[in-house]
Amino acid sequence: MDPITHGIAGALLGKGFFSKRQTKVAIFAATLGAVAPDVDVFAELFSRDPLSIIKYHRAITHSFVALPVFAALMALLTPVTLALLRRLFATFRDAESPPFGMLTLIYGVGIASHIILDGMTSFGTRMWYPISSERVAWDMLFIVDLTFTTVILVPQVIAWIYRDRDKGRARAWRMSAVFAVSALLFWALARGAGYPFRLWIAGLASAVMAALFFAPAKGGWGFRVSRAQWCRAGTYAMVVYLVACGFAHHSAILRTKAFADQNHIEVQRIGGLPIPPTLLDWGGAIRSPNGLYEAEFDLRDSRPPVFRFTPDSPPDPFIARAFELPEVHVYWQFARFPSILSFAEGEDHVVELGENRFSGGRRRSPQPFTYELVFDSDGDLIAQGWLTNGVLQQHLERITPRRLSPPAGTGSAP
């Protein structure tokens, strides 16, 4: 999940449950704790290893095992952080810090929210590292789920609108305009990314937001609700949304299993994968011994989903050589619904490993996290890395040819 949404979730929890005493520092701690696990991205920035994003990201900093240590460490460092904030921001000059035990708890709640929300995406997270390196992925939320972000942001916006009677109406108009423009931008971005939805949906969403911002003004009742109450209501709305995603995921899994059963497919792995923009849009994925079945469907459509089959390339010496490499073993442990493509390109030969859990088949090649290996005509590895746009940018690294021992056979990948 994106860091902005993590921060919004942490702020919601801080305002809703930890804002009675030492308000500013408590909310700051909950927000910082919610974004802190992503500090591991710095390992990727300084590493020359193209696989760093799957080796280091969402490991020890995203682990419940290490959570108490990180929460306590952040609590210990808070006096230094608070001193800096007092120098930079006037609003923190009179701020007091909660006791160490309470502060550790607040940081822990923020970190835990990050771990759980990452576990709900298809990318998943190694939440029990280093005890287990298994990547837990519940497939309930897309990595960037703007509907979820809106659910947890709107209660905080409403609380801000109704903190001041004199400014409430002007704030409501301002936020209605901001959300209307945001809905149009979301529509345009979704269309450009290959996840289009109708323009009238953006208009309807804008109208709903405006109604939520203005409705509490009737009779002035919105001004009588505290910020903590608004944010606790937002937390409950978040839970309801996640439960709804859970039911939708279960329905997607059932449809995918029904297809596998009806067609007698040997299933190695099966999944129901979220697709933006709403919790009604899903993908089905089935990894079989010889290829991948994929479908995307709307849960409101009662017709059986139509699955496409993408066969793996037949086993050949280049695929066998590729799977002797340690980098490919790391990639294969990360991939859940991979595909294997082997083809000639001029005088060279390419083995392309694709991961298909992030697009539901709507985007065309290259899929995110596509790893490519290039061999010369003698079978020596001359380049490997992420395909252009496979992970936002090209990491294909030219290397000195090195011979691998002749493969024992030409069997398929492990």
Mean pLDDT (whole number) for 186-203: 84
E-strand ranges in 252-405 read 269-274, 281-288, 291-298, 308-311, 338-345, 348-355, 371-375, 381-386, 397-402
Q: Which of 88-102, 176-190, 388-402 has the lowest mean pLDDT?
A: 388-402
Residues 10/27, Cβ–Cβ less than 8 Å: no
Residues 27 and 78 in one domain: yes
Which structural domain, as residue segments, surrounds residue 351? 312-402
The rounded distance, in Å, linking the Cα atoms of 123 and 142 is: 9
Strands lying side by side in the sheet with 348-355: 338-345, 348-355, 371-375, 381-386, 397-402
Q: What's the pLDDT tens digit per position in 167-183?
A: 999 999 999 999 999 99
Q: What's the pLDDT tens digit per position in 206-258?
A: 999 999 999 999 999 999 999 999 999 999 999 999 999 999 999 999 999 99
Residues 23 and 81 in one domain: yes
Tokens of 409: 């056979």
Amino acid at 363: R
Backbone angles phi, psi at 240, to 5 degrees: -60, -45
The rounded distance, in Å, linking the Cα atoms of 320 and 413 is: 7
Residues 274 and 181 in one domain: no
Is the four-CA dihedral 390, 393, 398, 403 of positive or negative sign? negative
Residues 257 and 281 in one domain: yes
Residues 34 and 78 in one domain: yes
Is the four-CA dihedral 29, 62, 40, 75 of positive or negative sign? positive
Residues 375 and 336 in one domain: yes
Tally of CA atoms within 13 A in the half-sphere of 187 that contains its CB: 16
pLDDT value for 196 = 80
In a domain, 408, yes or no: no
pLDDT bracket for residue 321 (50, 70, 90): very high
| Domain termination site, one of 276, 293, 310 | 310
Residues 19 and 87 in one domain: yes
In a domain, 409, yes or no: no
In a domain, 187, yes or no: yes
pLDDT bracket for residue 362 (50, 70, 90): very low
Residues 349/374, Cβ–Cβ less than 8 Å: yes
In a domain, 238, yes or no: yes
Residues 47 and 116 in one domain: yes
In a domain, 205, yes or no: yes
Residues 43 and 184 in one domain: yes
| Domain termination site, one of 242, 270, 298 | 242
In a domain, 413, yes or no: no
In a domain, 174, yes or no: yes
Pairing verdict, β 291-298 and 281-288: antiparallel
Mean pLDDT (the chain) is: 88
**Is the full-model pTM beyond 0.85?**
yes
Q: Which residues contact 90 (CB under 8 A, 6 or more apart)?
A: none
Residues 236 and 268 in one domain: no
In 10 A of CB 331, how many CB atoms?
A: 22
| Domain termination site, one of 310, 340, 357 | 310
The rounded distance, in Å, linking the Cα atoms of 132 and 66 is: 12
Q: What's the pLDDT tens digit per position in 248-292?
A: 999 999 999 999 999 999 999 999 999 888 889 999 999 999 999
In a domain, 407, yes or no: no
Residues 227 and 253 in one domain: no
- The total of structural domains in the chain comes to 3
Q: What's the pLDDT tens digit per position in 49-75?
A: 778 888 888 999 999 999 999 999 999
Residues 86 and 168 in one domain: yes
